[in-house]
Structure 1
Amino acid sequence: MEDNENVNQITENQGVNSENAKDEPRNKKDTKDSNANIFLLICIIGVSLGILLEILNIQNRSCKDEVNQTVSRYWVYSAYSDVENRNGLLKHVHLVLERVGYEKSTNHTPWSLLWSHDYPFRVLYPNLHKLKPHQKVNHFPGTGFITNKVDLATTDYKYIPKAFKLPKNKEDFIKYAAEHKNALFVEKHNQHRKVYLKNVSEIDLSNGESFVQEYVQKPFLVDGHKFDIGVYVVLTSVDPLRVYWYKGDVLFRYCPAKYHPFDPSVLDKYVVGDDYLPTWKVPSLAHSYSELGFSMKDAFDIYATSKGKDPVKMWEDVQEAIAGVFHLKEKHVIEALKGYPSGDNFFELMRVDLVVDEDLKVYLLEANMSPNLSSAHYPPNQLLYEQVLYNLFGVTGVADYMRDYNSTDVREQSAAKNMVSTDKNLAVWGKECDTYCRDNCEGSLLICRLCKPCITRQLRRSLLRAHREHLHKGDFRRLYPPPMQPGAQVDYKHLETLSEANKLQHLWYQGKCNIDSTWCT
């Protein structure tokens, strides 16, 4: 009986299963449709998540590029086309930047450097008044007070030949000419497009588009040729002021025509133009420069020494002349910077042109914003331009090899910066800081403000930058603050003529010079 009941139970179950089997095709179809819908939904969600993650990843990479500088990009602002810049005018700027790891970009992507051939602050102000700390621009606002021909020429300064704006300073000019009857004057267009040497009687005193400047008579000649001296200078900071000059070489440009017999109607005798005579074509310099491998500066020094002159004193005067101009004009740059968050974003490369008379007395003529760095006309100048640029990018922090360091750990980022420059690198005046200044930050001794417990955040940041500039200055040498002597007494009378920031910086460099003589210049 149990067997029969089991059989019946099995049969009933099979019957139930048979009934279910009748609905199986419909249920399977529903299940398949449902599974397909679920699969499709999963695919849509997966694709959407993938797209979202990629967007976030791109944004994250962009942020890393911008904040950690894993990719260094630069863009160029110029009235010339990109083809013209790459093939001629800015060819070496592009080459050197790419050699130190930069990629050419535009202002529409995160960038680290703006190289502007033209003065950028009028047109690009919206791009420049909210710069991030890592972004650099190759011009300082306000340096037009140095590079503008009229403003510089009419500056009352012992190294600048006397000049007068016309007709504004007509009466002063007439009086000066009467007192200096043997003086000759160069009449210059305000935009410096025309230069003429004239007697006083030949000058149109009512011309409002020119100025006159006293001509340096009896110039020192090399093989009968007059010349000018182009010194490359970089401004890295104002308030406090830091200026460097490129000592690796100097651009000498010789007039193509011999000076004597002198004829003021022949400009090639006394005005240096684009077709100047280069060093390697001046007979007395060619051997030293081309065969022996000396720089233009060294070749000139060898020649001057052979003529009984002292080029060492001349170069000291060159440095003093340039440093003094920047000191005089610093206030204008400080004022112009008030419209920007920080001056740390800017640097300025100039070429300062000077002449010397037969006694090697130095006269400063002009400072060129965006100096010519194209070797298209004179290919041998390529090395000079590229070395100037390479050293420029070092001293200004543009070629910062820490840029590839992209740790997200804040402490590790700080440790990476500290291994370059930190508080121990700023410590100076140990005796004073350990005694008189120990509990006396606000005392009468200015040195105390350089001691670690007393130093302000702003001063610390500035001195850390100064320390990094010193480490990476290459063939640049400091012009301002001026050279110092180890162990020298502090000249407090001189300090009285300086701003507060320049006083403290001067004392800091003197303190560093006392510890290590390589900091004296």
Structure 2
Amino acid sequence: MGHQQQLVRIRPDCVQGDLLDFLRSSQFLEMNRSQVILQRYIERPLLVDKRKFDLRVYLLVVNARRYTVKGSKMSTGYFTFLHPGFLRLCTAPYNPDHPDLAVHLTNQSVQAKHTPDFGQLKEVTTWYPDELNEYLNRRHRLPRKDWARDELYLKVGAILGYVSAVFRPKLDDRTSSLSNSFRIMGVDFLVDEQLRVYLLEFNSHPSWSRQTSVLNQLKPSLWLEAACLTSETLLRFQRRLPVRDAELVTRHNFRLIYSSEEPLLARKNVAKMYV
């Protein structure tokens, strides 16, 4: 919700000077330095209804275990799935010259929370992915119709598939060699006006609150599908059956983006981004 966050802008043409000034400031000395993040600021984001927005998607990580045929050795499976999640719009129109960067936080600024119509603001600034696709079809001149549905979320899946491959040692749960497990993480993405997609951050413990009608419908169904999909994935892996989108009968909104049974899947998805 933006609580206790301090945002400091480093100007692109004065990086060295601004950064040194910040590092020498009392503001920096009073901070918990392990929590300081240096991140590129997207000056020209793609706007929806004149507002900055980001995508909150969900990454389902399934860690599977099975014994070999002789039962003497444990083999592991590792699968990740993408859920398209929802869209979060800023509560105020985007103004790149505004002195307070916090007003453009898409997870709702502290100032907006104290306005009388904050609940209504959250309701109208939380969208389904299909609403974004329809809006862009109506209002923007994009390379193709249904760009958000057919390209944007494919790029998001390709990026997370690559991350799943590179960071498997961190995401693969090996705390118990006898257990099968799963986890759901919230991941945030931003799109700029040139339609470039940026990975912002991972949230290992995303909020499951349901303050809007979109979230109230989306989050329970997401958990139900995740539980069913995880169970089916574990069973198929243990029985040595293929784990692919086409074979998973409990899969509806999730999409497989990395599989230890088909390591080239992530690479193929990345390659599609450049076709």
> TM-score, normalised on structure 1?
0.38
CA distance in 2, matches of 1:214, 1:261: 15
Q: Deviations over 1:294-352 (max 9, x none)?
A: x7111101111230123222222111111111111102344x61x4123x521011111
Are the counterparts in 2 of residues 259 and 270 from structure 1 also a CA contact under 8 Å? no
From 44, 51, 68, the counterpart of 1:225: 51
Are the counterparts in 2 of residues 263 and 269 from structure 1 also a CA contact under 8 Å? no
Once the two structures are TM-superposed, the CA of residue 193 in structure 1 deviates from its matched residue by 4.8
From 238, 241, 253, the counterpart of 1:461: 238
From 129, 134, 141, the counterpart of 1:308: 141
CA distance in 1, matches of 2:59, 2:181: 14
> Which residue in the other structure is 1:63 paired with?
none
| CA separation of 1:271 and 1:252: change in aligned 2, threshold 3 A | closer
Are the counterparts in 2 of residues 225 and 258 from structure 1 also a CA contact under 8 Å? yes
SS at match of 2:80: strand
Q: Deviations over 1:30-49 (max 9, x none)?
A: xxxxxxxxxxxxxxxxxxxx
Q: Deviations over 1:438-464 (max 9, x none)?
A: xxxxxxxxxxxxxxxxxxxxxx62744
Q: How does 1:485-504 map to 2 (within 5 A)?
A: 502=260
> Which residue in the other structure is 1:506 paired with?
262
CA distance in 1, matches of 2:248, 2:214: 29
Once the two structures are TM-superposed, the CA of residue 240 in structure 1 deviates from its matched residue by 3.7
CA distance in 2, matches of 1:462, 1:361: 41
CA distance in 2, matches of 1:314, 1:219: 14
| Structure 2 residue 40 is the aligned partner of structure 1 residue 214 | yes
CA distance in 2, matches of 1:333, 1:231: 17
> Which residue in the other structure is 2:68 paired with?
none
User: Sequence identity, in percent?
Assistant: 22
Q: Deviations over 1:246-274 (max 9, x none)?
A: 24xx2211111111253141511345336
| Structure 2 residue 183 is the aligned partner of structure 1 residue 322 | no
Are the counterparts in 2 of residues 252 and 278 from structure 1 also a CA contact under 8 Å? no
Are the counterparts in 2 of residues 350 and 370 from structure 1 also a CA contact under 8 Å? yes
Q: How does 1:168-187 map to 2 (within 5 A)?
A: none
> Which residue in the other structure is 1:475 paired with?
253
Structure 2 portions without partners, runs of 5+? 65-75, 266-275
| Structure 2 residue 196 is the aligned partner of structure 1 residue 361 | yes
| Rg larger in structure | 1
| CA separation of 1:280 and 1:323: change in aligned 2, threshold 3 A | same
CA distance in 1, matches of 2:77, 2:263: 12
> Which residue in the other structure is 2:69 paired with?
none
AA matched with 2:219: Y
Structure number with the higher helix fraction is 1
CA distance in 1, matches of 2:254, 2:96: 39
CA distance in 2, matches of 1:219, 1:253: 14
CA distance in 2, matches of 1:271, 1:242: 30
Are the counterparts in 1 of residues 92 and 103 from structure 2 also a CA contact under 8 Å? yes
Are the counterparts in 2 of residues 257 and 269 from structure 1 also a CA contact under 8 Å? yes
Structure number with the higher strand fraction is 2
User: CA RMSD, aligned part only?
Assistant: 3.4
CA distance in 2, matches of 1:264, 1:257: 14
> Which residue in the other structure is 2:177 paired with?
341
SS at match of 1:474: coil
CA distance in 2, matches of 1:467, 1:225: 38
AA matched with 2:79: R
Once the two structures are TM-superposed, the CA of residue 279 in structure 1 deviates from its matched residue by 7.5
Once the two structures are TM-superposed, the CA of residue 378 in structure 1 deviates from its matched residue by 2.5
Say how many residue pairs are matched.
222
